[in-house]
Amino acid sequence: MTTPDRPFLDVESSISGQRWEERMSRTQAGQAEAMRERHSIPELVARVLAARDVTADEALGFLDPKLRDLMPDPSLLTGMDAAADRLVSAIAAKEPVAVFGDYDVDGATSSALLAAFLRNFDVPVEIYIPDRIFEGYGPNENAIRELAERGAKLLVTVDCGSTSHDALAVAKSLGLDAVVLDHHQVGDELPDVIALVNPNRQDDLSGQGHLCAAGVVFLTLVATQRAMRQQGKLPTDKPVDLMQSLDLVALGTVCDVVPLKGLNRAFVTRGIEVMQKQRNVGLAALARVARQDGPAAPWHLGFVLGPRINAGGRIGDAALGARLLTTSDPTEAEEIAQQLDTLNGERQNIETAMLAQAIDEAEAEIGFSEGPSVLVTESDTWHAGVVGLLASRLKDRFNRPTFAIAFDGRGRGQGSGRSIPGCDLGRTVRAAVDEGLLLKGGGHAMAAGITIERDKLGDFRAFMEERLCDDVATARLSRSVRIDGALSARGATVEMFDQLAAAGPFGAGHSQPLLAFPRHTLRFSDVVGKGHVRFSIGSADGAELRGISFRAVDTPLGDALLDGRGKVMHFAGTLSADFFRGTRRVQLRLVDVALAQ
């Protein structure tokens, strides 16, 4: 095993300027050995688990997470019993309910979960998803008045509402009861509502702060159905099999990039099993339209289905995603899926044009120096629905927290920020709101959304620089690639991939295994798609492995691949499996390359 002071494969600085380090410590190596001896877990799988702080005692339960073992009592969440009681009353009285959701995947899945549950009991339900451009995030007064006028008696906000004091005050003044089901960070002051369930509120001690909104809604439905049974209000012929809705919970969990630990792992593992049965008509249609290869897997949720559902909220009709997930009509599902697929293609074209402009501006600002610690880019011509994706791409390229802001003709900007580990963007944005620099703002440590007036832009830049410069400097000094183990092209088989996949699902908080391929020859490379580089590498024994490096063109990584044919190098990346002409094959998704000494 590599010693802590010696880099993996002696790579002190890779093509992308990163140090390669062994992920597993000596203590973790002991746990990996114990897993092998006690449970016959394959060596590489044991290394992956141990390096993610899974002990030998926990290993078997971790590999097969059971929902019944990980489900908390929903009543542990502050406000849950009050929320469940109010929903029981609405069901018993058949009161019209308005579900107000966010315009992303988590909002769409949360809205669909709640609506399907209520409709099972013949409750009139309307889902309202705001327009990202014209209404912005969260409940707004005009929408609430409109919903009240249409007869709603109960308003339930999902994936939003925790900071919507003014809008929810309007709801109360109209006699509209409100329940908030959310997971975003929130301060001490809460809106005046019947119940606010948010595991990240200051007085919640449930320990479930890692849940996305879909997870919170699922727990709420469990609590509601339990309360109906206890109160004798659950029709014997109409109980809901909530386990069959875990496909939507899994989709929201993966796409909202919440940590895949504890209950979230069980949600995703069991949810994918449900999704593979294709019970949800809308999801099945979207998988067909998106040409999903093979049975549903975590990668499909995050990179195939999720972006298409998000496309409606970014550049089209924000309600399309929720409509797709709630329809039982195959024809309607096919039509909506086609619309979302088309919108996703348009979104990709918009993003490509915006990214080229943003890179030019960022490189001009950074120049030959290190540049600002926090990159703030803006334009009057950008689409506000795509700024989050733009910020993410720039953050990856320049390795620093980044904001992308789209200004309208009135000088008001809608922006999104993405951060790097060690820099809490959500907390800093909330501080900027307190300082009067932003009209609105909030989010998580790694992502935030803002609304800003143009005349505050300079002060906002200075504020973010002052607050985060030290954290960014520390984070960038420690930049490294953490390797789980070494493999050869010969060893990268479908069987090996399936063994590693058993340690999943992988995502936020439980990262994909990163494998090194030492001293392999770059046999082939060329450009494919929109800025990607495909390639193949060969080991000394003649075996070959195909690979791809996404968005690598015009980057040091892409240049090394396109100019390095025939060279012997070290390659690092993650394995994926796809279907090619009916046969599964393994592919390397490249993360980094280093010259072989």
Entry pTM: 0.89
CATH of the domain at 511: 2.40.50.140
Q: Report if residue 415 sits inside a domain.
A: yes
The pLDDT, as a whole number, for residue 136 is 82
The pLDDT, as a whole number, for residue 106 is 97
The pLDDT, as a whole number, for residue 507 is 87
DSSP state of 244: G
Position 493 confidence tier, pLDDT thresholds 50, 70, 90: very high
| Residues whose CB falls within 8 Å of the CB of residue 373, separated by 6 or more in sequence, listed in order | 400, 401, 465, 468, 469, 472, 473
- Domain C-terminal end among 443, 462, 479: 479
The DSSP H or E segment spanning 388 is helix 387-398
Q: Report if residue 511 sits inside a domain.
A: yes
Res. 3: pLDDT tops 60:
no
Q: Report if residue 275 sits inside a domain.
A: yes
Residues 471 and 539 in one domain: no
Residues 297 and 396 in one domain: no
The pLDDT, as a whole number, for residue 421 is 86
Q: pLDDT for 551-563, tens place per residue?
A: 899 899 999 999 9
Residues 427 and 524 in one domain: no
Tell me how far apart the alpha carbons of residues 493 and 491 are, in angstroms, rounded to a whole number. 6
Residue type, 78: T
CATH of the domain at 190: 3.90.1640.30
Residues 521 and 470 in one domain: no
Residue type, 535: F
Residues 431 and 534 in one domain: no
Q: pLDDT for 356-373, tens place per residue?
A: 999 988 888 776 456 899
CATH of the domain at 432: 3.10.310.30
Tell me how far apart the alpha carbons of residues 302 and 290 are, in angstroms, rounded to a whole number. 13
The pLDDT, as a whole number, for residue 155 is 98
Question: Comparing 422 with 156, which gets the higher pLDDT?
Answer: 156
Residues 433 and 376 in one domain: yes
Res. 80: pLDDT tops 90:
yes
Residues 180 and 127 in one domain: yes
Whether 154 and 98 have beta carbons less than 8 Å apart is answered as: yes
The pLDDT, as a whole number, for residue 367 is 62
The pLDDT, as a whole number, for residue 193 is 98
Whether 475 and 395 have beta carbons less than 8 Å apart is answered as: no
| Residues whose CB falls within 8 Å of the CB of residue 66, separated by 6 or more in sequence, listed in order | 266
Q: Report if residue 49 sits inside a domain.
A: no
Res. 580: pLDDT tops 60:
yes
The pLDDT, as a whole number, for residue 466 is 95
> Mean pLDDT of all residues in the chain?
93
The pLDDT, as a whole number, for residue 582 is 74
Average pLDDT of the segment spanning 345-354: 92
Res. 1: pLDDT tops 70:
no
- Domain C-terminal end among 293, 325, 342: 342
Residues 134 and 260 in one domain: yes
The pLDDT, as a whole number, for residue 12 is 93
* Burial class of 349 by CB neighbour count within 10 A (0 to 12, 13 to 18, 19+): exposed
Average pLDDT of the segment spanning 292-316: 91
Q: Report if residue 52 sits inside a domain.
A: no
| Residues whose CB falls within 8 Å of the CB of residue 29, separated by 6 or more in sequence, listed in order | 1, 47, 50
Q: Report if residue 348 sits inside a domain.
A: no
* Number of domains the chain is built from: 3
Residues 494 and 466 in one domain: no
Instruction: Determine which of 141-150, 313-322, 514-523 has the lowest per-residue pLDDT on average.
Output: 313-322
Res. 6: pLDDT tops 60:
yes
Residues 469 and 500 in one domain: no
Residues 413 and 558 in one domain: no
- Domain C-terminal end among 427, 445, 479: 479
Res. 245: pLDDT tops 70:
yes
Tell me how far apart the alpha carbons of residues 435 and 366 are, in angstroms, rounded to a whole number. 27
Res. 179: pLDDT tops 60:
yes
State which residues form the domain around 295. 69-342
Tell me how far apart the alpha carbons of residues 337 and 357 are, in angstroms, rounded to a whole number. 31
The pLDDT, as a whole number, for residue 134 is 85
Q: Report if residue 216 sits inside a domain.
A: yes
Question: Comparing 582 with 584, which gets the higher pLDDT?
Answer: 584
Q: pLDDT for 379-410, tens place per residue?
A: 999 999 999 999 999 998 888 999 999 999 89
The DSSP H or E segment spanning 46 is helix 43-51
Average pLDDT of the segment spanning 35-49: 95
Question: Comparing 127 with 443, which gets the higher pLDDT?
Answer: 127
* Cβ-count burial 443-468 (b if 16+ within 10 Å, e if not): bbebbbbbbbeeebbeebbebbeebb
Residue 356, Cβ neighbours under 10 Å: how many? 12
Residues 393 and 507 in one domain: no
Position 530 confidence tier, pLDDT thresholds 50, 70, 90: confident
Question: Comparing 583 with 10, which gets the higher pLDDT?
Answer: 10
Position 4 confidence tier, pLDDT thresholds 50, 70, 90: low
Q: Report if residue 58 sits inside a domain.
A: no
Res. 113: pLDDT tops 90:
yes
Position 133 confidence tier, pLDDT thresholds 50, 70, 90: confident
The pLDDT, as a whole number, for residue 331 is 97
